[in-house]
Each structure stands twice: as structure tokens, then as C-alpha cells.
């Protein structure tokens, strides 16, 4: 009898000890807030720019990639645990983020974790919606046992201190807080619109309403109480296997009479979703007083560029109203343009109103107007791009119609070629691929048999 | 890896001769590097993944630069970056009394290691080398010590250690800064030596109260040991004074030099500062310039090396200048042959004109 008692006592003590250790481990890992970045989007309206990479991996402002802005906002807001949900063409994004060194997100616990969809017992599933992607990663979030979860999109350019939004969320005792931007009412029908009461509590959400009743547009930035969100995600999954925050989760929470609040943000925010808006947002950076300031010492944007040689401007060069990234060398003329790292503009070449991405070489005598040249391209001698009539692209008029010609990544454009406006060029093109050396406005030349 | 690295970066000879408060290893070079980056990168690019930096004079800015080892891929569990500053004990109240003493005082680092060879280098040189070639040469010659040398063509040999070699490149004679140099073969102050031999030599010379590696080891043992020279033919410069600092930075306006260090693999690594792109505003005009990230230009700049975060005002004129990180030049300024240290502020309308032989130097943080 005594022996049994003794044995039981030991068992109980072990159990208590075990429980304590688990608790201790749990509390060591615990984070008040973690963020989940949705970075699996294709960004189809960016055309050839997203042929081989997800939209968050597209370069922006010369040396950055779009996701850098959100990742930097996280670390600058003291959020050190970040999940990045990838799906479409994740290779470049994975390489870029790595273990998170540039953002100080290489941590012993927390830090950055890339979360691609994976096969579960008995089933495998792609991420079928924004909320579904989070639903599939409930286990990851539970690891950190957070109070709050910040849901972000990896597609946007802005500067935001999430800790202020969290403060607001706590102060309102909200279940969910949605960052909103006041947009001109005539553009409101492009956005998810929040209708709020006098204390900014959200009473109705309308996705792209035909007749908007408010101008508060959702920025796709949400803070949820994790316990609440988890419950709603599990509930909603039974009805919508393609669960989406805007379409399903937010309406469901409003229906449940949960406390949802709008957090008003009134600073720079851009969804560079189209060729034109992407070009425009890049061009804003070269203004003498840009509306989006990259030069603030206390809100730096970090990016993965471990080799940082200086910029060089040559003897015969003329550079005006432009920004040049690390290692770029200009021997020719560059006006109103954004140059990525390692770009070389040879003597006698002229680049105007253009975005030239990292590693591209423009040889002498070439003239580039209003075009976007992707990474690691080679533009030969005496090439003309972006002249002629403004005729929308024949194959994809909805994507290329504002006069901007786009050259896809790793493309070669041979010497003496003339390319018009709204053209798309991709692949290792030869002179014979052009009609008498000309690609008229609106035409596409895409080699390797694939459509953009 | 076969070797560990020791970088001597802060004896009194490692500060500028005309500004002894400035440590050379931490001086900016070529728009985005610090002098020590060249030696550090040479080591890590050659696969040396245990590097000790020994420093004492004016080491604050150097320590700041080395605050993280990750830029050189030296943030490791095995090996990695070690920084040794002198510490005072009851029986040794001195700083490092010489290069041999500096190494001797950290002899436990050498004893605890198991790499067969040690590469000893200085933090004030700008060059690119693959140490694997030197190690191979060292073993092939069955040398005790290998010294990397160069035939001085424009440097004055009398500023360096001058070597006399026989036809097999074995050292016959070595004179430190001779008044009448016998040859133009100068030691670059970079040595390869077996670790156990180094430990023995350091223990022997320090026991005799001798503290200098060149005078007390190389010169005294020049006949007793098999010391060989390894010829180096590429670009190699040593920073000694504001003048040489100015010239070396100006060398980076030369495409060959830039390509060697910036474009040809392996690259020179440096602390990543994440500055935004350099911005050229509408009124700016730039000719033959290096412009670091985060700089904003509004005026005219010619033949200059601008480091990071430099601001130039409208209608300012800058020619033949080196301007270090964070300096601000107001509107309507005129600067020629100047070297501005970090965070110098030049008020609107100032005129500063130095000469090629004697550029004007403004110290860190000065406001004029």
C-alpha cells in the first residue's frame, strides 16, 4: 500500500514538474503580437514584371523589393515574430528573405519564418483565400501563443507604426481593428469600404460597392484578438473552403456583433498593382520633396543587398532628377529615372522617365523613354525604346495602355532595334525576331513560348 | 581551414601621421568601405573563418564598425571574429608595447586554436589577395615564415621594410625604413607563419623584453629561419597620412580600381548601412564622382568621393574633394581640395580652397 502511495506521489510530482516546464517554455516563447504577411499574390496586372516572381518580390525604388517596406515596418514597430505566407513563384522571395538578417529578424526564437502551403495528413491544399492561408497556419501562430495577430499584405508601400495601431486596438477593447484610408469618394468603388458609426465602430463592410456610402477604404491591415480570430477561422472554414478576410471573415464578425473598429491612417499608402501605378509610385521618389520619404534616419527601410559598392557618375555623364542605387555606374545621360543596383548606363546612352532594375546594362547610343526594364537585362547599342504612337497593347490592352513599354527580366535586346510604346519584350531576342528591326507600338515579343 | 588570421589594427603606427587621433583601420575608403574591410574580406574570401583584430589606439570607431561580425560572414559558432583590446592586470599595467607583445598578450587565443598556420596582416592596407595562393607557396617552399612583398615603383622604399632576396626568393637581408635602401623590394607587412612556431617565437622574444615583430623577430631571425618572400603584383596601397588617404580615395575614380574591388568577385564586404539610393535633384550636376547611398545632391560636384548621406546645397561647387559620411554642405559653397571628416557642416556661402599637395582637412563634427 505504502509502495503504491509512494509511486503515485512520484508520478504526481513528475506531472507537476512537467506542467511547470511546459508553462515555462510556453511563456518564454510567448509574444504579445505576431504578424502574418500574405505574400503569395501573383499581381497579374503587373504583366511581365511578375512572370517569374511574386508581386512582393518585385523591385521598387531602385534597391528595394516591395515586401521590404512591410518587413521594415514590422521590425521598426518592435514586432520580432513574422510569418511570411508564400505561394506563387516563391523562389526569389525565399532567397531575398533568407533567415531575415537584413531586417534583424534572425532570432533564436521568433524572427521570420517562411510559410508555404504544405501537405497535411490525408490532404494537401494550396492557400485558397487570404483567411484560409491563416487558417492553415493556426499551429504556427499557436507556437507563440499571442494575444494579437497582425495580418498584413506584402504588396503595399507605406510607412506605419503598428504599435500605435495596437494601442488603439487595446484602447477600443476591439476584437478586430482594420486600418482604413480616406480615399476620394469617386474612387471608393475600387476598394473594400467600411461604414462606421460615430465612434468609428464598423457596422457594415462592402467589397467594391457600386454606390459607396463612406470613403473609408480597407488597407488590408488587420489586428485581431487571436482567440477570437481562431474561433472565427475554424467556424468559417466549414462554410467557405476559400475563406477570405474581406469577403467572409469581416462580414461574419460584423454579423456576430463583434467589436470591429476602423483605425484611420492618413499618410502615404500605395498599392502598386498596375504598370501605371507602379511606374507612378517610383517616379514620385525622385521629386525634390517626395511624398514618400526614404531618407528618414529613424524609420529606415532595410533590404537584402550584402554587397554595397558605391555609385559612380562619369566624366561625360549628366544625371538629373534621378535616384541611383549601390554599384550603379552612369557614363551617359539619366533624367527623371530610378536606377537599381549595379545598373550600367554607357556613354552616349540616354534614359528618361524610366525604371531600370538591378543588373541591367544599357549600351551606348541607346535612347530609352518611359519604360520599365526588369532585372539583369542587356540593351544593345543604338536601341530606341518608347517612341511612336500611343497604341494600347494588342494582346493585353488592360495591362499595357499608358504608353509604358516593359522589358521582362534577363531579356536581351539586340543592337539597332526600334521599339514603340506599350510593347512587351521578353527573352533572348535576336535582330531577326523584329520586323525589319522594329517592334511597333502595342506589339509584344515574348520568346520561350510562354505568355506573360 | 588551414589558417587563422590576425589583423594588427591599432598600434600607434596605425594612426594617421598628421592626425594621430584617427585610427586608419576605421577610415572610410572608396565611397562605402572602411580600410579594414579590405583585409577582413581578403581573409574571409580566402576561407579564413577565424579572425582576430588586435587594436588599442583610438579604437572606438573601429569597434563600432566591427560591432557585428555578420557582414564578413564571421558570425559563427566555430571560429568567427575576435576583437582584442589591451586589458590591464596587476603584473602588466601597460597597453600593448609592440606588435609582438600585442600577439603575445593574446597567446592563449593562438594556443587554443588548432589551425596549422597564422596569417598576420595589417588593417591599413587597400588590396585584394587570395591567401590560399600564399599558403600554398609557403608550404611548397617549406618556409618558416613567408613575407608578402612588392616591388615599389612609386612608393618610397625608405618608408617600408626593405628586403634583399636571393634567387630562390629566400630572405637575406631586411632593413626597417632604411635611409639608403639597397633594393626596391618592400615588405607589405603580411606574414604567413606556422602557429606553433609563432607561439614559440613570441614566448622567446617577450622573455627578453622585446616587443616588436619586425625588429625582434623578422630581423633578428632573418638568417636562422627560412624566411621567403611572396611576390604580390596587384594594386596595393598603404594609408599613412591625409595625403595618402586623399590619393587612395581618388584612385577609386579610376575604373580599373573600382572594378577590381567593387565589380570583380570576390567582393569586399562591409557593414551594411541600408541607406536609400543616392538622389540627384534637378539643379545638380555631377562629373567623375563616387556618390554613396543616402546622399542628396543639389549642386555641382566634380572629381570627388562622396560617402554616404552627404548633402550638397544648391549652387554649391565642389571639386577634388573627399567628403565623409553625413557631412552637410550648404548653398553657394565653394570647396576645392578638401577632406571633410564625418558630420562636418559647411554653412552657406563658405569658400575653402586647399591644394593638391596639401588638402584642407576638417575634423569630425566641425561646423564652419
Q: Residues B227-249: pLDDT tens digits?
A: 999 999 999 999 888 888 999 99
For residue B356, give every residue at least 6 positions away whose Cβ sits within 8 Å of its Cβ, in sequence order, or none. Answer: B320, B337
**Alpha carbon distance B196, A230 (integer Å):** 63
Tell me whether B45 touches chain A (CB under 8 Å): no
Kindly state the cell numbers that stand for A325: 542605387
- The mean pLDDT value for B8-32 works out to 80
Indicate the range of A38-52, A247-261, B63-77, B318-332 predicted with least confidence: B63-77
Nearest 5°: phi and psi at A155?
-105, -5
β pairing state of B278-280 and A322-324 = antiparallel
For residue A222, give every residue at least 6 positions away whose Cβ sits within 8 Å of its Cβ, in sequence order, or none. Answer: A150, A151, A176, A177, A178, A179, A245
**Alpha carbon distance B102, B258 (integer Å):** 34
Asked if A155 contacts A271 with a C-beta cutoff of 8 angstroms, the reply is: yes
**Alpha carbon distance A409, A49 (integer Å):** 8
In this prediction, residue B155 carries a pLDDT of 72
* Among candidates A318, A321, A325 on the partner chain, residue whose Cβ is nearest the Cβ of B277: A325
In this prediction, residue B11 carries a pLDDT of 65
Tell me whether B73 touches chain A (CB under 8 Å): no
In this prediction, residue B61 carries a pLDDT of 85
Question: A317, B284: Cβ pair inside 8 Å?
Answer: no
pTM above 0.80, yes or no: yes
Residue B266: asked if its preceding bond is cis (omega within 30°), the reply is yes
pLDDT, tens digit (0-9, with 9 covering 90-100), for B159-173: 889 999 999 999 999
Confidence label for A276 from pLDDT (cuts 50, 70 and 90) = very high
Kindly state the cell numbers that stand for B279: 538622389
Asked if B349 contacts B366 with a C-beta cutoff of 8 angstroms, the reply is: no
In this prediction, residue B94 carries a pLDDT of 78
pLDDT, tens digit (0-9, with 9 covering 90-100), for A357-395: 999 999 999 999 999 999 999 999 999 999 999 999 999
Left if phi > 0, otherwise alpha if psi is -120 to 50, otherwise beta: which for A125? beta
Q: Is the pLDDT of residue B256 over 70?
A: yes
In this prediction, residue A268 carries a pLDDT of 94
- The mean pLDDT value for A230-243 works out to 93
Q: Is the pLDDT of residue B96 over 90?
A: no
In this prediction, residue B72 carries a pLDDT of 86
Residues in chain A within 8 Å Cβ distance of B276: 61, 63, 294-295, 301, 323
In this prediction, residue A187 carries a pLDDT of 87
In this prediction, residue A8 carries a pLDDT of 67
In this prediction, residue B21 carries a pLDDT of 75
Confidence label for B312 from pLDDT (cuts 50, 70 and 90) = very high
Please state the separation of Cα A319 from the chain's center in Å: 29
Asked if B317 contacts B300 with a C-beta cutoff of 8 angstroms, the reply is: yes
* Among candidates A294, A295, A313 on the partner chain, residue whose Cβ is nearest the Cβ of B289: A313
- The mean pLDDT value for B112-140 works out to 95
Q: Is the pLDDT of residue B14 over 70?
A: no
* Among candidates B261, B288, B294 on the partner chain, residue whose Cβ is nearest the Cβ of A314: B288
Q: Is the pLDDT of residue B88 over 70?
A: yes
Please state the separation of Cα B118 from the chain's center in Å: 18
A13 against B302, higher pLDDT: B302
Kindly state the cell numbers that stand for B173: 637581408
- Length of chain A in terms of residues written: 452
Asked if B280 contacts B295 with a C-beta cutoff of 8 angstroms, the reply is: no
**Nearest Cα to Cα of residue A311 among A272, A273, A344:** A344
Dihedral sign (CA A369, A372, A376, A377): negative
Q: Is the pLDDT of residue A16 over 90?
A: no
- The mean pLDDT value for A98-116 works out to 91
**Alpha carbon distance A354, A167 (integer Å):** 41
CA distances from residue B195 to B43, B56, B115, B221 in whole angstroms, order as listed:
16, 23, 7, 16
Q: Is the pLDDT of residue B132 over 50?
A: yes
ipTM, 2 decimals?
0.89
DSSP A5: H
Q: Is the pLDDT of residue B306 over 90?
A: yes
Q: What percent of chain B is predicted at pLDDT more than 90?
A: 68
Left if phi > 0, otherwise alpha if psi is -120 to 50, otherwise beta: which for A58? beta
- The mean pLDDT value for B265-292 works out to 93
β pairing state of B285-291 and B236-238 = unpaired
Tell me whether B30 touches chain A (CB under 8 Å): yes
Average pLDDT for chain A? 91
Nearest 5°: phi and psi at B141?
-80, -10
In this prediction, residue A451 carries a pLDDT of 43
With cell 567623375, the residue in question is B288
Confidence label for A15 from pLDDT (cuts 50, 70 and 90) = low
Kindly state the cell numbers that stand for B340: 571633410
Q: What percent of chain B is predicted at pLDDT more than 70?
A: 98
Tell me whether A361 touches chain B (CB under 8 Å): no
- The mean pLDDT value for A182-208 works out to 90
**Alpha carbon distance A280, A257 (integer Å):** 41
Asked if A153 contacts A70 with a C-beta cutoff of 8 angstroms, the reply is: yes
Asked if A272 contacts A278 with a C-beta cutoff of 8 angstroms, the reply is: yes
- The mean pLDDT value for A82-105 works out to 92
Question: A311, B290: Cβ pair inside 8 Å?
Answer: yes
- The mean pLDDT value for A186-199 works out to 90
Residues in chain B within 8 Å Cβ distance of A324: 277-278, 280, 291
Q: Is the pLDDT of residue A10 over 70?
A: no
**Alpha carbon distance B25, B55 (integer Å):** 9
What number of CA atoms fall less than 13 Å from residue A73's CA on the CB side?
27
Amino acid at each position: 500500500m505504502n509502495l503504491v502511495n509512494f509511486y503515485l506521489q512520484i508520478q504526481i510530482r513528475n506531472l507537476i514538474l512537467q506542467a511547470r516546464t511546459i508553462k515555462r517554455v510556453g511563456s518564454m516563447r510567448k509574444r504579445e503580437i505576431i504578424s502574418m504577411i500574405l505574400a503569395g499574390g501573383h499581381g497579374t496586372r503587373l504583366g511581365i514584371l511578375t512572370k517569374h516572381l511574386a508581386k512582393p518580390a518585385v523591385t521598387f525604388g531602385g534597391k528595394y523589393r516591395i515586401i521590404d517596406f512591410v518587413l521594415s515596418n514590422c521590425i521598426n514597430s518592435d514586432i520580432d515574430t513574422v510569418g511570411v505566407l508564400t505561394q506563387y513563384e516563391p523562389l526569389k522571395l525565399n532567397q531575398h528573405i533568407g533567415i531575415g538578417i537584413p531586417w534583424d529578424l534572425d532570432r533564436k526564437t521568433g524572427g521570420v519564418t517562411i510559410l508555404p502551403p504544405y501537405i497535411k495528413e490525408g490532404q494537401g491544399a494550396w492557400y485558397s483565400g487570404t483567411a484560409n492561408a491563416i487558417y492553415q497556419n493556426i499551429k504556427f501562430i499557436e507556437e507563440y501563443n499571442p494575444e494579437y495577430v497582425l495580418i498584413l499584405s506584402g504588396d503595399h508601400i507605406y510607412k506605419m507604426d503598428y504599435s500605435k495601431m495596437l494601442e488603439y486596438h487595446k484602447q477600443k477593447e476591439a476584437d478586430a481593428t482594420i486600418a482604413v484610408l480616406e480615399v476620394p469618394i469617386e474612387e471608393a468603388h475600387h476598394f473594400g469600404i467600411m461604414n462606421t458609426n460615430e465612434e468609428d465602430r464598423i457596422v457594415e463592410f462592402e467589397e467594391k460597392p457600386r454606390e459607396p456610402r463612406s470613403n473609408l477604404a480597407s488597407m488590408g491591415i488587420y489586428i485581431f484578438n487571436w482567440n477570437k480570430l481562431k474561433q472565427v477561422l475554424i467556424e468559417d472554414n466549414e462554410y467557405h473552403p476559400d475563406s477570405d478576410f474581406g469577403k467572409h471573415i469581416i462580414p461574419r464578425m460584423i454579423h456576430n456583433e463583434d467589436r470591429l473598429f476602423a483605425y484611420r491612417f492618413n499618410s502615404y499608402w500605395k498599392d502598386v498593382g498596375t504598370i501605371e501605378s507602379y511606374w507612378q509610385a517610383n517616379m514620385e521618389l525622385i521629386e525634390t520633396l517626395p511624398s514618400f520619404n526614404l531618407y528618414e534616419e529613424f524609420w529606415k527601410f532595410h533590404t537584402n543587398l550584402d554587397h554595397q559598392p558605391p555609385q559612380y557618375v562619369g566624366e561625360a555623364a549628366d544625371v538629373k532628377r534621378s535616384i541611383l542605387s549601390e554599384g550603379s555606374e552612369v557614363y551617359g545621360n539619366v533624367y527623371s529615372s530610378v536606377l537599381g543596383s549595379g545598373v550600367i548606363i554607357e556613354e552616349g546612352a540616354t534614359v528618361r522617365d524610366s525604371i531600370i532594375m538591378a543588373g541591367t546594362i544599357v549600351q551606348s547610343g541607346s535612347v530609352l523613354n518611359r519604360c520599365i526594364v526588369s532585372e539583369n537585362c542587356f540593351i544593345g547599342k543604338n536601341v530606341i525604346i518608347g517612341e511612336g504612337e500611343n497604341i494600347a497593347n494588342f494582346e493585353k490592352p488592360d495591362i499595357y495602355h499608358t504608353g509604358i513599354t516593359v522589358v521582362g527580366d534577363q531579356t536581351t535586346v539586340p543592337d539597332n532595334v526600334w521599339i514603340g510604346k506599350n510593347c512587351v519584350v521578353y527573352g533572348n531576342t535576336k535582330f531577326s525576331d523584329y520586323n525589319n528591326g522594329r517592334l511597333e507600338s502595342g506589339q509584344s515579343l515574348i520568346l520561350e513560348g510562354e505568355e506573360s | 581551414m588551414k589558417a587563422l588570421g590576425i589583423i594588427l589594427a591599432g598600434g600607434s603606427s596605425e594612426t594617421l601621421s598628421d592626425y594621430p587621433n584617427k585610427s586608419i583601420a576605421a577610415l572610410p575608403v572608396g565611397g562605402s568601405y572602411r580600410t579594414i574591410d579590405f583585409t577582413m574580406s581578403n581573409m574571409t574570401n580566402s576561407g579564413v573563418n577565424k579572425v582576430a583584430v588586435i587594436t588599442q589606439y583610438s579604437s572606438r570607431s573601429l569597434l563600432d564598425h566591427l560591432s557585428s561580425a555578420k557582414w564578413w560572414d564571421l558570425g559563427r559558432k566555430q571560429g568567427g571574429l575576435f576583437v582584442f583590446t589591451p586589458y590591464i592586470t596587476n603584473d602588466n599595467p601597460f597597453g600593448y608595447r609592440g606588435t609582438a607583445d600585442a600577439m603575445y598578450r593574446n597567446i592563449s587565443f593562438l594556443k587554443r586554436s588548432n589551425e596549422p598556420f597564422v596569417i598576420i596582416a595589417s588593417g591599413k592596407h587597400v588590396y585584394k589577395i587570395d591567401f590560399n595562393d600564399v599558403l600554398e607557396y609557403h608550404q611548397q617552399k617549406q618556409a618558416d615564415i613567408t613575407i608578402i612583398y612588392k616591388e615599389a615603383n612609386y612608393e618610397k622604399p625608405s618608408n617600408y621594410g626593405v628586403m634583399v632576396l636571393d634567387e630562390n626568393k629566400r630572405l637575406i637581408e631586411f632593413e626597417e625604413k632604411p635611409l639608403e635602401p639597397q633594393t626596391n623590394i618592400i615588405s607589405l607587412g603580411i606574414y604567413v607563419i606556422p602557429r606553433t612556431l609563432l607561439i614559440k617565437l613570441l614566448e622567446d622574444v617577450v622573455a627578453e623584453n622585446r616587443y616588436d615583430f619586425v625588429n625582434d623577430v623578422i630581423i633578428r631571425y632573418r638568417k636562422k629561419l627560412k624566411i621567403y618572400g611572396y611576390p604580390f603584383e596587384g594594386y596595393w596601397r598603404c594609408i599613412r597620412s591625409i595625403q595618402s588617404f586623399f590619393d587612395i580615395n581618388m584612385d577609386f575614380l579610376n575604373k580599373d580600381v573600382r572594378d577590381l574591388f567593387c565589380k570583380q568577385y570576390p567582393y569586399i564586404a562591409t557593414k551594411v548601412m541600408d541607406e536609400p539610393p543616392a538622389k540627384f535633384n534637378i539643379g545638380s550636376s555631377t562629373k567623375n564622382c563616387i556618390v554613396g547611398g543616402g546622399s542628396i545632391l543639389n549642386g555641382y560636384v566634380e572629381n570627388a568621393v562622396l560617402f554616404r548621406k552627404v548633402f550638397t546645397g544648391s549652387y554649391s561647387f565642389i571639386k577634388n574633394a573627399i567628403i565623409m559620411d553625413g557631412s552637410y554642405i550648404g548653398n553657394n559653397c565653394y570647396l576645392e581640395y578638401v577632406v571633410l571628416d564625418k558630420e562636418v557642416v559647411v554653412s552657406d556661402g563658405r569658400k575653402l580652397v586647399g591644394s593638391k599637395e596639401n588638402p584642407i582637412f576638417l575634423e569630425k563634427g566641425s561646423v564652419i
